[in-house]
Amino acid sequence: MIRYRPTFSLQTGSLVGARAVVDPGEGLASLQHICRFARGWVAPGVDPVVVRVPIDHAALTSSFLLTEVSAALSQSRLALGSLELLVPPGPVTAMAALQGMGVRLAVPGSAIGKLTLAQMEELPIDKLILDPLFVRGLLHDDESAALCAGLIHLAMELKIRSGADGVDFPLQASFLKDLEADEATGGFFGPAMEAPAFERWWRARVAVAPEGVVGEQAQN
């Protein structure tokens, strides 16, 4: 059963999307189901949201990748820009083709390894994601804090967005906000929920931030 976690903007407090909690090896196979479900979240007059789905290297390099993604988008009629794939760095041609279809691409910080800034600039990506392992040590480990700060700075250098997974405590959210990270998911923002529960939660919480997420902004 696929579960979903809400994604909040750290800078504005807005509820901006969701992360599908699914094994990357099953992401592509689950894509049509996830897109159909995501299409039903948004009420008329509400801005489109983004659902993030992880896929692995095998899916990114498969011959049927573009066909599967195209079918999921057309059958679900998901709004342009509302699907985001979390992918490892891979073939630029495949990644560019996905972007050309209106799909946003995110890359996990743990996957960029020793790539240089020049190599990162060649990748057609829209977002850099801080892994839960990095976020977990954020408040008590100088190396983890420096790594998170460095990845957020890298995203700024590349002129792309940054996000963080595994944000379970308010101090982590506040720290990442101060570093100017864009968005986050994790236990602090809401539990992983199965589809029916998530949709009920979503409709009750659209554009509302958990208390304390963005300091004074959350109270306005």
What are the beta bridge partners of residue 18? 6, 51
pTM of the model: 0.91
User: What is the distance between the alpha carbons of residues 120 and 106, in angstroms, rounded to a whole number?
Assistant: 12
Count other Cβ atoms within 10 Å, centred on residue 177: 19
Residue 79 pLDDT: 87
Residue 43 pLDDT: 54
Residue 47 pLDDT: 57
Residue 48 pLDDT: 61
User: What is the distance between the alpha carbons of residues 133 and 9, in angstroms, rounded to a whole number?
Assistant: 20
Residue 88 pLDDT: 95
b (16+ CB within 10 A) / e for 1-13: ebbbbbbbbbebb
Each of the 220 residues of the chain gets a pLDDT tens digit; together they read 899 999 999 999 988 999 999 999 999 999 999 999 998 876 544 556 899 999 999 999 999 999 999 999 999 999 889 999 999 999 999 999 999 999 999 999 999 988 888 999 999 999 999 999 999 999 999 999 999 999 999 999 999 999 999 999 999 999 999 999 999 999 999 999 999 999 888 888 764 544 445 433 333 3
Residue 1 pLDDT: 86
Collapsing DSSP states into helix, strand and coil, what is residue 163?
A: strand
Query: Which domains, ranges and CATH numbers included, belong to the chain?
Result: 3-204 (3.20.20.450)
Residue 46 pLDDT: 52
Collapsing DSSP states into helix, strand and coil, what is residue 41?
A: coil
